[in-house]
Amino acid sequence: MHPWLARRTAGFDSSGIRKMFALSARMRDPINLSIGQPDFPVPEPVKDEICHNIRADRNGYTATEGIAELRQKLNEVIGQRFGNDPNRSLLVSSGTSGALNLAILAMINLGDEVIYFDPYFVMYPALIELAGGVSVQIDTYPDFQIDVERVRQAITPRTKMIILNSPSNPTGVCCRENAMRDLAQLALERNVCLVSDEIYSHFHFDSPHLSPLAWNPHTVVIDGFSKSYAMTGLRIGFVHGPTEVIDTMAKLQQFTFVCAPAPVQWGALKALDLDMHEAIDRYRTKRNRLVEGLQGYYELAAPGGAFYAFPRLPSGCTGDEFTERAVAHEMLVIPGKIFSRHDTHFRISYAVDDRTLERGIEVLQKIARC
């Protein structure tokens, strides 16, 4: 390790997902089922609004909390669903990842424990470690549903936070209503911060999206525009929660990200007027086709949302062996061990055009026996 580097950077590698970018660049016509990015473009009205504001020279700093117009509209949307709570505030962030980073920095002291669920989004353990926190992973195999009693037993006097992600990346599984309610009430009872990562809230295919905020008024909710409006590279998200927490996150944003990109904030405001149901419905159809195509070839917990599936590896295969076999067929998937302590599954992103999905299903059927 180079002597200039901080020891806290040594505990985690660069994302295995990012390595797939380099692999795909070397392939002529890859079947790329690895990247969690919508295949539809940013809606034209959003692009027009961003370009208009760039040309109108709205390119400088905004208030750290975000432009007033966007915050007002987001508060209206949230108020319509959950009611208006004078004890809660909202912050526009530089992406949902930025909001998650700020939440952990704002609340986690050295040695504080953070509970989250295995499999997990790759960023969770890295951000916790950077803040000096301690990861407490709770296994959800084989169906990827939360056992609240296991959470209850894992809570200690050092537990500060629980992170929930539903629909989930990498599994696509949605938390059941009774488990979400019980988890929300447990966090409230034990005075533990519940952070709900709801970036896939629009991608909920079989039932309405649920948020633990419905049962716990102190829930910190993180959401954004990256997935639902295909604005992944434009870095715009938002977070709402108890006012003192959000104010502290805003203070930290002032000294880190400063603010979300100004023209993109205006684009996000325009996005809130758009109906994205048609695009979401296409992803429900893709989900159905993938599940149908894998039936009889792989064990799979039915994904109810997001745009991922997390099939079990063929018997006798490691994640690396299976990934190499897929690469030999010009296909990219992610080994499950990137998201988990277990090396038993792999992640598929079906956020691709129909031709790529059909090619992918054909290859997956072909390589289902190791």
Q: Classify residue 49: in a domain, yes or no.
A: no
Residue ending a domain, choose from 271, 299, 332: 271
Beta-carbon count within 10 A of 146 CB: 22
Say whether both 155 and 246 belong to one domain. yes
Q: Classify residue 50: in a domain, yes or no.
A: no
Say whether both 164 and 236 belong to one domain. yes
Q: Classify residue 2: in a domain, yes or no.
A: no
Nearest CA-CA partner of 257 in 227, 231, 237: 237
Beta-carbon count within 10 A of 56 CB: 10
Rounded CA separation 326/268 (Å): 37
Put residue 172 in one of left, alpha, beta given phi > 0 → left and psi -120 to 50 → alpha: left
Contact 135, 128 (CB under 8 A): yes
Q: Classify residue 55: in a domain, yes or no.
A: no
Q: Classify residue 349: in a domain, yes or no.
A: yes
Say whether both 198 and 305 belong to one domain. no
Say whether both 306 and 353 belong to one domain. yes
Say whether both 124 and 215 belong to one domain. yes
Look up the domain containing 265 and give its range.
60-271
Alpha-carbon dihedral sign for residues 168, 11, 251, 195: positive
- CATH number for the domain including 81? 3.40.640.10
Say whether both 232 and 293 belong to one domain. no
Residue ending a domain, choose from 271, 296, 318: 271
Say whether both 207 and 103 belong to one domain. yes
Rounded CA separation 209/111 (Å): 34
Residue ending a domain, choose from 256, 271, 286: 271
Nearest CA-CA partner of 194 in 214, 220, 174: 220
Q: Is the peptide bond before 142 cis (omega within 30 degrees of 0)?
A: yes
The pTM of this model reads 0.95
The string of pLDDT tens digits covering residues 25-40 is 666 789 999 989 999 9
Q: Classify residue 214: in a domain, yes or no.
A: yes
Say whether both 202 and 263 belong to one domain. yes
DSSP state of 7: G
DSSP state of 338: G
Say whether both 125 and 212 belong to one domain. yes
Please state the domain count of the chain.
Answer: 2
- CATH number for the domain including 347? 3.90.1150.10
Classify residue 276 by burial, with Cβ atoms within 10 Å: 0-12, 13-18, 19+. Answer: middle
Per-residue pLDDT of the chain (370 residues; tens, 9 = 90+): 899 998 888 777 765 666 666 665 666 789 999 989 999 999 999 999 999 999 999 999 999 999 999 999 999 999 999 999 999 999 999 999 999 999 999 999 999 999 999 999 999 999 999 999 999 999 999 999 999 999 999 999 999 999 999 999 999 999 999 999 999 999 999 999 999 999 999 999 999 999 999 999 999 999 999 999 999 999 999 999 999 999 999 999 999 999 999 999 999 999 999 999 999 999 999 999 999 999 999 999 999 999 999 999 999 999 999 999 999 999 999 999 999 999 999 999 999 999 999 999 999 999 997 6
Q: Classify residue 201: in a domain, yes or no.
A: yes
Rounded CA separation 110/6 (Å): 16
Say whether both 292 and 260 belong to one domain. no
Furthest CA-CA distance within the chain: 60
**Residue type at position 47:** K
Say whether both 177 and 299 belong to one domain. no
For strands 308-309 and 346-349, give the pairing.
antiparallel
Q: Classify residue 53: in a domain, yes or no.
A: no
Say whether both 170 and 319 belong to one domain. no
